Amino acid sequence: MARNMSETLPILVVPHPILRARAKPVTAADDAAVRELAQKMLATMYKAPGIGLAAPQVGVGLRLIVVDVAPKEAPAPMVMVNPEIVAQSSELATREEGCLSLPGQYAEVTRPARVLVRYQALDGSRQQIEAEGLLSACLQHEIDHLNGVLFVDHLSPLRRNMILRRLAKEQRAKAREATAP
């Protein structure tokens, strides 16, 4: 799958309500739409640029994520339909996270160091992947989106409110700039 081969989609920004809603499972009836959506999501993620994107972030309430933590020179996109974490390590890891739906906002987030994720590939086959490091954090972050959870929800209330207030202020300033003569 080549980068930027299809059209991109607008990325929703907090506080859009779909970002807090639980996404619905993808069914066989969604098959054709999901294939097209996955391509657009990959193009959107690469253009942003980001390493993961969940369908709710582009306004679609389905359990679909795309991820690519590989270097730009060697893309390795993954499309996961109905992903679920079926096991996680008790060992924790902390790393800085950001989110395309909270542009410019970053914080240290602690999550399980390793996860086992079960999902369906676009061809309908059942798959699973054991992940650690950046891929583990990215998968957990994107699966959180499917459950209406944002990375700031893993922070203290004080830190979360600081980030959300700063984002709201930046979004207001951007809106003012866009309407300025």
Boundaries of every domain in the chain: 17-179
Neighbouring residues of 122: CB distance < 8 A, sequence distance ≥ 6 = 34, 35, 38, 79, 81
Count the alpha carbons within 13 Å of 38 in the hemisphere toward its beta carbon.
25
Where b means 16+ CB within 10 Å and e means fewer, 59-83 reads ebebbbbbbbbeeeeeeebbbbbbb
Q: What pLDDT is recorded for position 119? A: 98
Closest residue by Cα to residue 140 from 104, 73, 94: 94
Q: What pLDDT is recorded for position 2? A: 43
Q: What pLDDT is recorded for position 5? A: 53
Closest residue by Cα to residue 92 from 116, 112, 108: 112
pLDDT < 70 positions in the chain:
1-5
CATH of 17-179, one of 3.90.930.12, 3.40.50.1000, 3.40.50.720, 3.90.45.10: 3.90.45.10
β partners of residue 88: 115
β partners of residue 80: 65
Average pLDDT, the chain: 95
Catalytic residue annotation? 142
| 130 backbone dihedrals φ, ψ, rounded to 5° | -100, 130
Percentage with pLDDT > 90 across the chain: 91
Q: What pTM did the predictor assign?
A: 0.94
Positive or negative, the CA dihedral 129, 41, 143, 50 is: positive
Q: What pLDDT is recorded for position 18? A: 98
Q: What pLDDT is recorded for position 149? A: 98
